A and B are shown apart, each in its own frame.
Chain A
Amino acid sequence: MSAHPHASLALFLLVAVGFPLAALMVARLWFRFFQPARPGATKQDVYECGVAPTGDSWIQFKAHYYLYALLFLVFDVEVLFLLPFAVAFTGLPAGALVAMLAFMLLLAEGLVWAWHRGHLDWS
């Protein structure tokens, strides 16, 4: 029997859907037959690394990290493209150098812009 080339995909799908369902079912059965029903304040609490929680769980995080994440991307992407470029450098024509310089200029100006706008000041 020659299976369809994508038959394995169907198997994956079956397992991907079936496994979590099976696990949930087992948990449910465990609850049904073995677990004593003893609700309490401690049991309902928010789990926080095993430490007793303090205050409300709905707090506002300072989300300024994302700026640094974005700026990190500047260098990240730069390295990502520079490395293969450097490896193949000897075999590339002059046009490729121009293109890469333009690319780096773009990224550099992003950094300059962020610096000037004061996004690097942590406040």
Chain B
Amino acid sequence: MNLLLNPLFLSIAAPFAVAVAILCGLPQRWSKRLAYLGFGLPALIALWCWANFPANNGAEYAWFVRASTGLEGFGISLALGLNGVSLPLFVLAGLVGLAAGLYAIRSTAERTKLYLMLLLFMQAGLMGIFASEDIFFLYFFHELALIPTFIMVGIWGGRDRNYAAMKMTIYLTVGAMLSLLGLIAIYVKSGANTFDLMALREAVAAQPIAATAQKYAFGLLLAGFGILVSLWPFHTWAPLGYGAAPSSAAMLHAGVLKKFGLYGLIQVALPLLPDAARAHSQILTVLALGNVLVIGLITIAQRDLKQMIGYSSVMHMGYAFLGLVCFSTLGTGGVVLLMVAHGLSVALMFLLATSIHDRTQTFDLADMGGLAQKTPVLAAFFVAATLAGIGLPGFANFWGELTIFVALWNVSPWVAAAAIAGVVISAIYGLRAVARVFFGSPTPALNGVMAANPPADLSWGEKIPALILLIALLVVGFWPKSISTPLNAALTAPVATAKTAIP
């Protein structure tokens, strides 16, 4: 009973229940109506949690609930709760899920029911990832969200969807398996014989895991999570997959699901394996700089709008890894801020890119131009999203990048300087894309397309999801304290303790 009334459980159960209802043969009209509920309820719950999160109390798990799964022999129980680290990402999952869901409900994809069902399963998994306190369920919900992605890319994908789906599946499943192995290694080696994060933290605080065990467990987790977060040079699935994925799937995956790896590193790997994390920091720094600089330059060279967004998302993950290797509250907090900001802005970019494609029938930057005159609102949104991506003050990204740079400067000014050079790179490709798509004069081919099918400006079906994302970006941009206070509390506290109920 306690479980059924828990807001976190409801936010997972609602999309799941709607998806199951669609699976059992709900008619089309009702599917869409219930899908509003399935996407809306988690978002509302997320916002409610954000508003009601106990201030200065981020280290404790709020709305904590534990339900028996019958697997206590394995140390597994369904434990849900939000602390200061998971709260912002929970909100992110709710909002991006709502935006992607609304966009999907109004879209005209064929076999909409199946599409909505997969998205709803994915949404249930996403809410579950960030609400789980038990690391077995953390992984479980991640996989629940991951599998629908592959199917959606395979069925509704664009160009090269067969190859993209296959590549994405293999890369991500290998990554997931490696990280599962790392999690099992922690489970075995901590001596606590539990997957419960708080119990693990207590056990490790009492008796740290042996150095060699830490080393291979962290190595496994880093490799696994690194592939999932598209750490250079394991990133090649990402641009390809995002390029082929249908818009809502790309929004949810790039915006939210990809953050699972970083979240795992912050919540699990860094607190439980601190020594090994430090031992790996040099190599991680090099790889992360590869993400920022190498991928940044590759991004500039892209001719395809969606591929460019995919690469830019890979590049921004480099900042996140750089923030992690600072091993400071500032750096890690910056990573969480950046995860939220990047999730919102990249989802917005994918949404707008699809809207542009609907009007121009192409993703090729060379074939576009002059769209601003026909669709000023779309242009305004796109410019805003680009500026957010570059990290202009006023958007959430600014705070994320700024804190990471400051933290980096404290550790190594050289690395910080190299990372800051990345901002210039993102300005180059971002602004160039704006110029190519919206300004200048249209190519003859585009003129032909637009003459046959005059482009309308953004409809409400596109505007509302875009607005949700943009407003969230601005709110965090102007009021970062709403996230950073509980975050700070969570990151500075030594051992997280549970609180069962906070009204």
Would A and B touch once assembled, by the CB under 8 A criterion? no
